[in-house]
């Protein structure tokens, strides 16, 4: 007999899958975008339900689909090969982080390093065509949020290596989110706003991951962590494009 929570999680995954299929039939999503939504829904639900084998099989799939999506863009838009090659590298680093964090053993720091590379690449992409950080309020807000999260995590960060690695990571992701928000403030278009939402969701997802790992157990943490993470990656990969590129 299934509990209400299990039934709700499975129903949610099915709802997302059917919505994505309907969006493809209506011409609002590409097939690759549908697969990204569906694989993310399955991976999130499997992790939240504790279905370990299915979770390990499905977790890398959303980033593999996102990588395919950007590889297609790279092929079709060769004039922007440098931009999309960098985005492809960021997704590959994220995929490496996903795999490292789910493997047996204590691979948290290597996984963190892989995501750090991804955020540095995202930051470089977001800075293209802009001077510095366009929005000082956004920079203050994200750095302040990062400092608060790091202070919350600090008591659980045992060892100089771990504390240093988490500190550098928090700084870089805060800068990435600030750059995305500033870019959206300058461009004022739907894709840049979507990317900014993705960057903020990435910050939230990682904060929840850190709190769950180092502070206190968050109920249904895989649902909130992976759900916000996959949505963040989808928003960034699906909307990040060179300044001036056609919408």
In the predicted structure, residue 136 carries a pLDDT above the cut 70: yes
pTM of the model: 0.93
Domain count, the chain: 2
pLDDT one-digit tens code per residue, 82-125? 898 999 999 999 999 999 999 887 889 999 999 999 999 999 99
Q: Is residue 247 part of a domain?
A: no
Q: What is the mean pLDDT of the chain?
A: 92
Q: Is residue 64 part of a domain?
A: no
Q: Is 196:180 a contact under the CB 8 Å cutoff?
A: yes
Q: Is 52:62 a contact under the CB 8 Å cutoff?
A: no
In the predicted structure, residue 1 carries a pLDDT above the cut 50: no
Residues 162 and 95 both lie in one domain: yes
In the predicted structure, residue 35 carries a pLDDT above the cut 60: yes
Q: Is residue 17 part of a domain?
A: yes
Q: Is residue 187 part of a domain?
A: yes
pLDDT one-digit tens code per residue, 231-243? 999 999 989 988 8
Residues 47 and 10 both lie in one domain: yes
Q: Is residue 77 part of a domain?
A: no
Q: Is residue 69 part of a domain?
A: no
Parent domain of 111: 85-239
Residues 221 and 111 both lie in one domain: yes
Q: Is residue 68 part of a domain?
A: no
Residues 93 and 187 both lie in one domain: yes
Phi first, then psi, for residue 103 (nearest 5°) are: -75, 155
Residues 99 and 139 both lie in one domain: yes
Domain boundary among 59, 74, 95: 59
Residues 29 and 93 both lie in one domain: no
What is the predicted pLDDT for the residue at 93? Answer: 96
pLDDT one-digit tens code per residue, 183-212? 999 999 999 999 999 999 999 999 999 999
């Amino acid at each position: 007999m299934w509990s209400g929570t299990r039934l709700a999680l499975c129903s949610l995954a099915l709802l997302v899958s059917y919505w994505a299929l309907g969006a493809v039939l209506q011409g609002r999503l590409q097939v690759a975008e549908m697969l990204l939504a569906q694989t993310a829904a399955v991976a999130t639900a499997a992790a939240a339900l504790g279905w370990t084998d299915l979770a390990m099989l499905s977790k890398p799939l959303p980033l593999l689909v996102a990588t395919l999506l950007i590889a297609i863009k790279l092929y079709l838009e060769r004039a922007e090969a440098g931009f999309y090659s960098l985005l492809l590298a960021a997704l590959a680093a994220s995929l490496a982080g996903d795999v490292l964090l789910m493997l047996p053993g204590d691979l948290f720091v290597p996984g963190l390093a892989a995501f750090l590379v991804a955020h540095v690449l995202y930051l470089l992409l977001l800075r293209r065509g802009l001077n510095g950080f366009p929005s000082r309020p956004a920079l203050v807000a994200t750095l302040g949020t990062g400092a608060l999260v790091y202070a919350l995590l600090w008591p659980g960060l045992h060892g100089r290596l771990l504390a240093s690695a988490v500190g550098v990571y928090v700084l870089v992701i805060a800068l990435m989110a600030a750059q995305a928000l500033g870019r959206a403030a300058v461009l004022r278009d739907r894709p840049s706003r979507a990317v900014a939402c993705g960057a903020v969701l990435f910050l939230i997802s990682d904060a929840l991951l850190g709190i769950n790992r180092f502070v206190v157990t968050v109920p249904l943490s895989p649902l909130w962590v992976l759900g916000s993470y996959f949505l963040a990656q989808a928003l960034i990969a699906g909307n990040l494009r060179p300044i001036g590129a056609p919408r």
